[in-house]
Structure 1
């Protein structure tokens, strides 16, 4: 039973239980050959250019439960995956499934990814974000093979220009 700091505890509960997002962004990705990772870093740079505090999460390293603590209060969520076997990576699919189950509200989102020949992952990730009832603020961004410096710069600028 809590006997002290009651006001702090109640205020923390109110903060985490309301659906009002904080002005921050979360970029979540997995990558096979670093192309999607390069895109994720360009997205990160775009949010930084926009003045939005941003965190980058690599699904190979970061556990989805830890990521969700930031997603729940973020205004923006960007998710990236390369295409493998005409699909997104299983780690990204798992993350989207977990996120949908927690049903965060009031999010602006977009998908990105790289591919060799199919290119389906960015669209599939976008479908997952729509299933979460997020507001899609940019068409899925995809690049074949390795993104050029010009492509990455353009991606950063598109993110910086988001409303």
Structure 2
């Protein structure tokens, strides 16, 4: 029998792990799996916080039944309607027909749209509360973190925040649910990848949510993906990371992203990297778009302040995989980057014009003149590439000295 874990008095983890799915949202690789987290609060009334992906509903319901037996669930609180968290709602309503479903106006609209659920709905407003007996839940609406209906639920007497997708991470839970029970370093880059790919567009709403919660005492954060963050673990670092990422702040390192058909653009990328390194930049990541997955590229661009993109001209456009990365960064409203660009062509150049337009649209600070190859790698091209690496290093080094 699957047993739920009591993570704090009267709070039970009833989530599940998915180590089968290859791509989250059919887009983002899951080399270490992912968890779908759900929580039960057992008081005079029983409240369930979110459900799980319908593929794992059998394990989910066995965990609940092993704890509650025949006792009903009084409330389902829906913090987020994305199907990896709401997928089991239809089955839940069939099993507990008298359950009341708690959500905001947008949640209720989506409950009908996704699952045809229209009965026993409790519509709440921002900062409303719900009494369970000795415990009280308080609701904080956090729209566009990262859907319009998203909200967070705060268990007041336990200083516990059920945060929905916020503060979540890729990676299944390998035994320990609490951050203090596991080696958390394995989740760190995956948390940045999760944020940058899933939430990254919504920096301003995340800042609004953080400000709304800034006066709330939080000892534990129960997200819908990844470990539970605790006061004795990494909770302060996690909140600080979200604050940093949502401001589009970054560490003083350099990401070089390039596409190359015949090796010339790749050689330019290496030349620029060597120059940046010789001028003091230690954190340098180079991504060949034909090999690196876009989600890893986006993660690193969110991590580091310097960004240099290189592309050959292809059918009078950017190289297709470079164009995809550029579009993804535009879609995430990326800000506050030092930028450089390079490219190549044989008879008609488009990459310089298109990457310049990208920099202008994003309001990036261009650190040096672009480097462009016409057909072959001449000595003057190497000189310009060295200059681009050097100028980027100067910018990054000047930030370090402040």
Q: What TM-score results when the alignment is normalised by the length of structure 2?
A: 0.38
- The structure 2 residue matched to 1:67, chosen from 287, 297, 304, is 297
Contact 1:111 1:123 in 2 (8 A): no
CA shift for structure 1 position 146 = 2.2
State the aligned residue count.
Answer: 163
Residue 152 of structure 1, CA deviation: 2.0
Equivalent residue number for residue 316 of structure 2 = 86
Change (3 A) 1:3 1:109: closer
Partner of 2:385: 155
- After superposition, give the CA deviation of every residue in 1:26-63 in whole Å (9 maximum; x if it has no partner): 00000111111111111111221221121000000011
Whichever of the two has the greater Rg, that structure is: 2
Which residue in 2 is equivalent to 1:141? 371
Look up the match of 1:43.
272
Out of 18, 28, 45, which is 2:247 matched to? Answer: 18
Structure 1 segments, 4+ long, off by >4 Å, are none
The answer for unaligned runs of 5 or more in structure 2 is 1-221, 223-227, 396-402
SS in 2 for 1:106: coil
Q: Cα distance, 1:82 vs. partner?
A: 0.6
- 1:104 equivalent in structure 2: 334
Tell me, yes or no, if the aligned pair for 1:71 and 1:77 is still in contact at 8 Å: yes
* RMSD over equivalenced CA pairs, Å: 1.8
Matched, 1:30 2:30: no
- C-alpha deviation, 1:71, in angstroms: 0.6
Tell me the residue number matched to 2:60: none
Task: In structure 1, list runs of 5 or more residues that go unmatched.
Answer: none
- TM-score normalized with structure 1 length: 0.89
Q: In the alignment, which residue of structure 2 is the partner of 1:113?
A: 343
Q: Which has the higher helix share?
A: 1
Deviates more, 1:130-139 or 1:28-37: 130-139
